[in-house]
């Protein structure tokens, strides 16, 4: 598969399509938006189902608690804004109004990661996986592409309880197929290999695919796992990879502190210790720039994943 | 619903205050001042206005009461026990391991509509309930009790805008306007006046009531129900620590429980007040 020939679609578009489909299937689905209705693609739902769309203005705290009220009445609210504002600004509302009551609210955070680009650090969410997965009862999903994002949206509505869906702004290659099985909490192995296991989520799955190609040319067989659900984490697949490959690399468009790589390391450290090398943003804020430039600048491109894989393999041999 | 016997309800108010003090004394911690100030607000609601059935706490068409100022839960727990939502014996386990009566209310206990404790979130939840009820054409009212100090929280004013924007006349906010918060008098901590005008400016109908006069509160609840096209706030003027001379209006009693001698002294005062009714 060459990256250039792939269809490029933002994951937020997949979400928007999934939401419209859900709206037609279930009249209890309602959507709330904090003034970012076009950007989050909530406008597609608004157009089809205006009576079930609620604009909340620039008021994220109010929006998430209001969503909790809808859930208390048996509705399935999707509350949408940028990831930074959802996970940061309204963290306590998500903790107390939603998760502590185990309410059926779907929290949709678009514009995750540095692929937001020119808007810069204030708008580039690099902490949501960490901030959300530490809340009891929360499910966290990071779809790899638009096809998976649509499936994740529909799957999230079927879960009884709070779900955070992390989406991106920029168009990304569509690497999964309609017929691929998507199950929340069940990772998908995209490539088999025994030398090293690469776990990735979101847009990093595509980078990791390229990394596997680089490694293959060097005679290294890497296993690639699309771990789209950082929580609840698929322990079985993580531990199997640790045991069978003996070296792990994690790749996330997110801080390496407390996030996706940490979730995997927690499982590995406790039950099957092997080296874990994390590729991600290293304890710093984002920057303005184009997504591709930023991926290179922050060292989270395919070549960086390949380099981490070589190091992990070396560590297991030592 | 016809109005209940005011004298009987006044007697109940004293019994509820005694229960609150006993709960707090047994727990060894908790919030005395703000629990004692909301007793009449709760009784006028639960014994007159609120459409609810303790035997069916999950009844879909019930009115909802949300205690946003979660720290005052001893008062709500006591009133719910009086109404029969759960056995009164449970009150004495407040704040203890294994009790359903958490230090701040936890959703799941019969009669408790929301978890609360982190201030400022209840009114937004009330709006969500009201909007959903409107979608489903459910004729319910949603009451949300907040503290005056609580309205320092910006989220309250976000929610105030939402309620007026969506013309939520099925929402009724109640403010326990006792003029004290943890750090001192509200007006000294962070000026809140003019209070009713703030709400009016946010598009609300505002009613001021004597928060310890049951008839005044019932009048206010009736008036609120008649207002159409906008939400109503009832600013209930109260005395923090109401009913116990050495707790009333004392800022240091915000977040402490009576010790044994204080508890006994308070009960004596309340028993004397009962005799005088």
Render pLDDT for B173-213 as a digit per residue (tens, 0 to 9): 999 999 999 999 999 999 889 999 999 999 999 999 999 99
Helix ranges restricted to H, chain B: 6-27, 33-36, 39-44, 73-83, 122-135, 154-165, 186-189, 195-201, 214-226, 260-276
Amino acid B109: pLDDT: 97
Q: What is the pLDDT of residues A63-92, one digit of tens each?
A: 999 999 999 999 999 999 999 999 999 999
Whether A2 shows a pLDDT value over 60: the answer reads no
User: How does the average pLDDT of chain B come out, rounded?
Assistant: 97
Domain match, A155 and A126 both: yes
Domain match, A220 and A116 both: no
- For residues B132-154, give the mean pLDDT: 98
8 Å CB contact of A73 and B133: yes
Flag whether A217 is in a domain: yes
Q: What is the pLDDT of residues B72-102, one digit of tens each?
A: 999 999 999 999 999 999 999 999 999 999 9
Whether B223 shows a pLDDT value over 80: the answer reads yes
Residue A141 three-state SS? strand
pLDDT band at A318 (very low <50, low <70, confident <90, very high): low
Cβ count within 10 A of residue B130? 29
> Looking at A4, A7, A48, A60, which residue is catalytic?
A60
pLDDT band at A4 (very low <50, low <70, confident <90, very high): low
* Rounded CA separation A32/A34 (Å): 7
- For residues A194-221, give the mean pLDDT: 98
Look up residue A130 and give its two tokens: 């960490």
Whether A1 shows a pLDDT value over 90: the answer reads no
Flag whether A180 is in a domain: no
Q: A229: closest CA among A185, A272, A261?
A: A185
* β-pairing verdict for A222-226 and A188-191: antiparallel
Domain match, A135 and A48 both: yes
Domain match, A222 and A298 both: yes
* β-pairing verdict for A139-141 and A106-110: unpaired
Q: B161: closest CA among B129, B124, B195?
A: B124
Domain match, A78 and A211 both: no
pLDDT band at A208 (very low <50, low <70, confident <90, very high): very high
CA distance to partner chain A, nearest, from residue B203 (Å): 16
Domain match, A163 and A252 both: no
* Rounded CA separation B85/B74 (Å): 14
Environment class of B54 (CB within 10 Å of its CB; exposed 0-12, middle 13-18, buried 19+):
middle
- For residues A144-166, give the mean pLDDT: 98
Where on the phi/psi map is residue A173: left (φ > 0), alpha (ψ -120 to 50), or beta? Answer: beta
Domain match, A45 and A169 both: yes
CATH code, domain carrying A257: 3.40.50.920
b or e along A244-264 (b: 16 or more beta carbons within 10 Å of the residue's beta carbon)?
Answer: ebbbbbbbbbbbbebbbbbbb
Residue A201 three-state SS? coil
- Please say which residue of A145, A173, A201 terminates a domain: A173
CATH code, domain carrying A50: 3.40.50.970
Report how far Cα A126 is from the mean position of its chain's Cα atoms: 11
Flag whether A214 is in a domain: yes
Environment class of B193 (CB within 10 Å of its CB; exposed 0-12, middle 13-18, buried 19+):
exposed
Q: What is the pLDDT of residues B107-127, one digit of tens each?
A: 999 999 999 999 999 999 999
The answer to whether residues A99 and A125 touch, using CB atoms and an 8 Å cutoff, is no
DSSP string, B31-83: -SHHHHTTHHHHHHIIIII----TT-TT-TT--EEEESSGGGHHHHHHHHHHH
Give this prediction's pTM: 0.97
Whether A3 shows a pLDDT value over 60: the answer reads no
Residues of B in contact with A59 (CB under 8 A): 155, 158, 161-162
Q: What is the CATH code for B6-276? A: 3.40.50.970
Phi, psi of B185 (to 5 degrees): -70, 135
Whether A218 shows a pLDDT value over 70: the answer reads yes
Q: What is the pLDDT of residues A229-239, one digit of tens each?
A: 999 999 999 99
- A60 catalytically annotated: yes
Helix (H) or strand (E) holding A248: strand A248-255
Domain match, A165 and A59 both: yes
Domain match, A50 and A161 both: yes
8 Å CB contact of B159 and A66: yes
Domain match, A128 and A200 both: no
Q: What is the pLDDT of residues B235-275, one digit of tens each?
A: 999 999 999 999 999 999 999 999 999 999 999 999 999 99
Residues of A in contact with B161 (CB under 8 A): 57, 59, 62
DSSP string, A155-191: HHHHSSS-EEEE--SS-EE--S-TTS--BTTB-EEEE
Domain that holds residue A251: 188-317
Maximum Cα–Cα distance across chain A: 63
Whether A189 shows a pLDDT value over 80: the answer reads yes
Phi, psi of A126 (to 5 degrees): -120, 10
* Rounded CA separation A145/A176 (Å): 7
Residue A196 three-state SS? strand
Q: From the candidates B68, B109, B115, B128, which should be mutated to test the interface with A, based on the most A CB atoms within 10 A?
A: B128
- Please say which residue of A173, A198, A218 terminates a domain: A173
Domain match, A156 and A195 both: no
- The residue behind tokens 């204030």 is A122
- For residues B157-167, give the mean pLDDT: 98
Flag whether A179 is in a domain: no
Flag whether A122 is in a domain: yes
Residues of B in contact with A96 (CB under 8 A): 115-118, 121
Domains of chain A: total: 2
Whether B51 shows a pLDDT value over 60: the answer reads yes
Flag whether A137 is in a domain: yes
CA-atom Rg of chain B in angstroms: 17
Flag whether A295 is in a domain: yes
Flag whether A181 is in a domain: no
Peptide bond into A184 cis (omega under 30): no
DSSP string, A101-140: TT---EEEEESBSGGG-TT-GGG-B-SHHHHHHTSTT-EE
Report how far Cα A49 is from the mean position of its chain's Cα atoms: 27
Domain match, A160 and A17 both: yes
Find the residue in B nearest to A99 (Cα): B115
């Amino acid at each position: 598969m060459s990256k250039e020939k792939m269809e490029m679609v933002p994951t937020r578009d997949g979400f928007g399509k999934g939401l419209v489909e859900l709206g037609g299937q279930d009249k209890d689905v309602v959507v709330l938006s904090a003034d970012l209705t076009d950007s989050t693609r909530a406008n597609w739902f608004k157009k089809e189902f205006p009576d079930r769309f609620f604009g909340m203005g620039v008021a994220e705290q109010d929006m998430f608690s209001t969503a909790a009220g809808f859930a208390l009445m048996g509705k399935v609210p999707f509350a949408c804004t940028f990831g930074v504002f959802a996970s940061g600004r309204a963290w306590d509302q998500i903790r107390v109004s939603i998760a502590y009551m185990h309410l059926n609210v779907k929290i949709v955070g678009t514009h995750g990661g540095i692929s937001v680009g020119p808007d810069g650090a204030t708008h580039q969410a690099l902490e949501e996986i960490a901030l959300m997965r530490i809340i009891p009862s929360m499910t966290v999903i990071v779809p790899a592409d638009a096809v998976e994002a649509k499936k994740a949206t529909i799957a999230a509505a079927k879960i009884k309880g709070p779900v955070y869906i992390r989406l991106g702004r920029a168009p990304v290659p569509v690497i999964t197929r309609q017929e691929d099985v998507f199950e929340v909490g069940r990772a998908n192995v995209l490539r088999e290999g025994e030398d090293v296991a690469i776990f990735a989520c979101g847009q990093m799955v595509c980078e990791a695919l390229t990394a596997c190609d680089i490694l293959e040319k060097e005679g290294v067989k890497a296993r690639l796992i699309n771990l789209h659900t950082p929580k609840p984490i698929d322990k079985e697949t993580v531990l199997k990879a640790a045991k069978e490959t003996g070296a792990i690399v994690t790749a996330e468009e997110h801080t390496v502190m407390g996030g996706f790589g940490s979730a995997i390391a927690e499982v590995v450290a406790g039950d099957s210790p092997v080296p874990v090398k994390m590729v991600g943003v290293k304890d710093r804020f984002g920057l303005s720039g184009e997504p591709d430039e930023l991926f290179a600048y922050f060292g989270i491109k395919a070549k960086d994943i390949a380099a981490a894989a070589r190091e992990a393999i070396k560590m297991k041999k030592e | 619903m016809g109005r209940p016997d005011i004298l009987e309800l006044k007697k109940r108010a004293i019994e509820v205050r005694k229960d609150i003090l006993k709960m707090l004394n047994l727990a060894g911690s908790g919030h005395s001042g703000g629990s004692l100030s909301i007793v009449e607000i709760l009784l006028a609601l639960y014994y007159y206005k609120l459409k609810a059935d303790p035997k069916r706490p999950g009844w879909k068409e019930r009115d909802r009461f949300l205690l946003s100022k979660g720290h005052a839960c001893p008062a709500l727990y006591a009133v719910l026990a009086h109404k029969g939502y759960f056995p009164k014996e449970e009150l004495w386990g407040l704040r203890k391991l294994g009790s359903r009566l958490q230090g701040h209310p936890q959703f799941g206990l019969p009669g408790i509509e929301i978890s609360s404790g982190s201030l400022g979130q209840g009114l937004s939840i009330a709006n969500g309930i009201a909007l959903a009820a409107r979608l489903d054409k459910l004729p319910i009212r949603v009451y949300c009790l907040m503290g005056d100090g609580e309205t320092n929280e910006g989220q309250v004013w976000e929610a105030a805008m939402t309620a007026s924007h969506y013309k939520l006349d099925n929402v009724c906010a109640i403010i326990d306007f006792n003029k004290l918060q943890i750090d001192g008098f509200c007006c000294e901590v962070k000026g809140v006046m003019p209070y009713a005008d703030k709400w009016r400016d946010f598009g609300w109908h505002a009613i001021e009531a004597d928060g310890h006069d049951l008839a005044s509160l019932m009048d206010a609840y009736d008036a609120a129900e008649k207002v159409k096209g906008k939400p109503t706030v009832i600013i209930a003027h109260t005395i923090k620590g109401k009913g116990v001379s050495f707790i009333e209006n004392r800022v240091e009693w915000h977040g402490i429980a009576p010790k044994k001698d204080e508890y006994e002294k308070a009960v004596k005062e309340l028993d004397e007040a009962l005799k005088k009714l």
